[in-house]
Chains A and B, each alone.
Chain A
Amino acid sequence: MAEARADTLQSVELADGVEIQLRVAGPAARSMAFTIDLLLRVAIYIVVWIAALFLLVKAIGMELTTGLMLLFMFFMEWFYNVIFEAGPRGATPGQRTMKLRVMSATGGPVTLAQAVLRNFLRVVDFMPGLYLTGILCMLFTKRFQRLGDLVANTVVTYVDPPPVRTAHSELRAERRAPPQVLTREEQAALLQFMERAPQWADERRLELSSLTEPLTGAPGAEGLRRLCGMGLWLQEPEEKNGKPPPLKGAPPLPA
């Protein structure tokens, strides 16, 4: 059964054996990037057309100018995205503005072939209008891939990791070992609680810590204090006068 997830992180194993996590971008951010690119392309068209009409026509004549403009349009229509996405940054100007980039679903950079495939299929993703097919397809794939992404095996990800807010506030709690062996998931939950608790209101902290009453053995503020103490112990188990960590399979210590 698929686990319900609260984030869009996608785990990928690299060729070197390490598992990395990709933050795939959804339709909203990508639509913004597309709109920026669209405006940029319109601006380029306007500038180039004006330059052609006033300078090029005089220099090389109407027919050659028409020809060059047609070639330019062909290039812009099909290769604007390809050139940028296959480049070193893997992103068009619009995607760069939105801090996105195109990656191979294997975690590596996009190859020229992949960039060609994913962009030529835009024609179909656009149909019947406003990228309806592409957006529907993105909603039904777990990596937000449109048809072009599926064929080219690419994903659009955020460049930067999400901002981690660290609020520093003194924890007035005594380090204490948990009364029983915690599983890895439980330890992870407790450590995350420690990381995020400083950002919450007192009521929220108490609400969450009261869930662990079976572990802390005390309600309310005292329970929270004990929980934070266990969190501190997990962060620095071997400091100063800390008790030895409970051994695996050892009988639970009295609280």
Chain B
Amino acid sequence: MKKQMQYLSIKRGAAVLFLLQALFVNGQETPKFSITGNMGVSYEGYSVTTNPTTPSFFTPRKPTTLIRFTFQPVISFGEFKLPFNFNFTPLRNNFGSPPYGFGNLPGFPKQNFKQWLTNPINTLGLNPSYKWAQIQLGTQFIKYSDLSTGDLAIFGYGFSLKPGKIRLKYFSGVSQQSYQPFVSLVPPATFVGAYKRTVTMGQIGFEQEGKYFAGFNLVKSHDDAGSITAPLTGIPSTPKPAENFVLSFVTRFNTEKGWYGLTEIGTTISTRDITAPGPNPLLKNFKPYISTNLSSFRDHAAQIGFGKKGKQWDIGVSTKWLGAGYYTMGYSFVQNDRLDYTLNTRFNTWKKKMNVVASIGERFGNWSNVSGRTKQLIANTNIYTQFNEHFSLNANYNNFGFQTPGLTGIKNVGNDLGINPAYNWNSSTMSNLLSLTYNWSKYDETVFPANTLTSNNSQTALLMYVPTFFDKPNISTDFSAMYFKNISRPIMTNLKIYTFSSSLGYHFPKQRLKLKGQLQYNITTINPFTSSKNVMATMGADWNLSEKLSWNTSMTANLFKYGNELAPPATLDGARYMESMLKTALLYKFGN
């Protein structure tokens, strides 16, 4: 009986193996199983010591430890794909979003699980797909268009369907978890809190991959007014819970002859404070999408761009207008009330030895206020010429001018000119590259009506030498010297920087190991102070432990010694700090 059971189980096992083999290995018609992508862990350690220790004169600029885990395999089974996008850290302090660096304040509430999941520093995303259908779970970075949404990390769920030419997308999730206000007495600090923000978006359109797309985008963002129990109303106060609705229509096309184009028109309705009373006599509700109140406003935006790309030349023009109240939480930092246009081109000439890239554009700010419009000119040109196999020359010129009208006006004008000749020559044992970069920059700020002019005149010169030894191909090295000088007027400030730098690398092919090091020495002088000096040394190794596993490590030590610019007090005359940085990362690659 026992033997029969064993025989049956062996038979079943063989049958399963046979089926799996048939599924995974045989022919093109059967699904194929594979795993690609990578996973890894990285560590950054940072420490700083100062001398003297008090008074404080240097703030640590990195966290003491930063560990990040990466898990990004893509599991494929025929047309079914399961990509993971996990990238996370135990850090609980945000600097450009709530809680704005307050996370380490003594007594500040610890990050809860929801806050950790939706912390913008963490990504925990899954995107299983089968043929034209994709499900989006966890943290997603979804860009619909330039005027709707694309800047946010949102934790939630949704889908993207692409049957034939139809495009149907939906996603809903949390872009910001709530944080309660927190007032600290020692040290004195006030964190104003942040409401939970939910974003829901959808897109419907038609597309032929690589040829055209036309579709509507709808995005609704909403702050949960009940997510903060006791908002601060003094100075500073808790931002009001807001609401935002975006509707945009976008078209794109590309032709086989190189023509391309993009148009988008959008409208937004924004409510700055959903607790404000209503109704708004000047702005009706737009139900079922959004109800307005006295803090609501509505505005529009449009952009258009088209051009042609060729083998020897490109040309394109684009313009964008955003009304004074155009606002989308999907791009919450974007400056509105502006109009800008750009013309850009690239072409090869002189027997294809010369390459020219140029652009010119203007940007008008405060567009809705005709008498108060600001104006900015931006022009860039880069000309590269390969005269022969030994000598090349690159020249670039950048200009920008920013101006506001009227008696309270400002004028900022910047001019940058750069020239970079490079010459290389060979002998029987080595090749040599000598490169010189010179940059002249002038930046003037004029403030009216006093007509006060602050002028900056900068010059940068960099000389670099790179030898390559034919008989020692595993050695790489370079040497560079840089000189920078800036003169500011009318407050006489002369800043001079001298930098000497050299790097050396050695490759052990058998051990699949690369060693590298760099030494940098800086002297900085700001008149009338004595010079400050800085030495920075870096050593590192990139080691392929196996075909799939690599280990990268680098250590940097940075010693900075001030002149007398921090004095008084006298104890800070010659103050110095020492930074130590260690970076190490293990990375494993799946698949072949």
Task: Tell me if chain B binds chain A.
Answer: no
Residues on B lying within 8 angstroms of A by beta carbon are none
